[in-house]
């Protein structure tokens, strides 16, 4: 799984570095060796609050230091599968 953190101007000013560091810490905490964190230019999802990230190809907007753990739990620890039956 790949977590891509936007480091475009808008997201960067809202704390991309802090968010990336936070993801690294959580990955270490849960020993998720197969999850990587990388950076990307503007994803075209600039939101007024927080940073845009892509988790396994899914855009999650508005990630902040406050909701980081929730986002991680929802999208990384127990990703919702969108399979159609
Ligand atoms: S700067 Fe991050 S989505 Fe635009």
What is the full DSSP assignment across 18-30? HHHHHHHHHHHHT
How many Å apart are CA 28 and CA 6, to the nearest integer? 21
The best mutation among 52, 59, 61, 64 to test binding of ligand 1, ranked by most ligand atoms within 8 Å of the C-beta, falls on 52
Domain hosting 65: range is: 2-77
Question: Which one-letter DSSP state was computed for residue 49?
Answer: S
Query: Number of folded domains in the chain?
Result: 1
User: Which is more confident, 80 or 19?
Assistant: 19
CATH number of the domain at 70, please: 3.40.30.10
Check if the beta carbon of residue 61 is closer than 8 Å to that of residue 14. Answer: no
Please state, rounded to an integer, the average pLDDT across all residues of the chain. 92
The yes-or-no verdict on residue 60 having pLDDT over 60 is: yes
Q: Is 46 in the pocket of ligand 1 (CB under 6 A)?
A: yes
- Domain for residue 30, yes or no? yes
- Domain for residue 85, yes or no? no
Q: Is 10 in the pocket of ligand 1 (CB under 6 A)?
A: yes
Torsion sign over Cα 32, 33, 34, 35? positive
- The predicted pLDDT at position 14 comes to 96
């Amino acid at each position: 799984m790949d977590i891509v953190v936007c480091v475009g101007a808008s997201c960067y000013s809202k704390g991309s570095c802090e968010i990336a560091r936070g993801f690294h810490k959580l990955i270490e905490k849960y020993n998720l060796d197969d999850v990587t964190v990388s950076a990307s230019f503007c994803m075209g999802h600039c939101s007024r609050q927080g940073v845009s990230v892509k988790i396994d190809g899914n855009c999650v907007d508005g990630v902040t230091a406050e909701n980081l753990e929730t986002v991680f739990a929802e999208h990384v620890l127990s990703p919702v599968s969108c399979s159609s039956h």
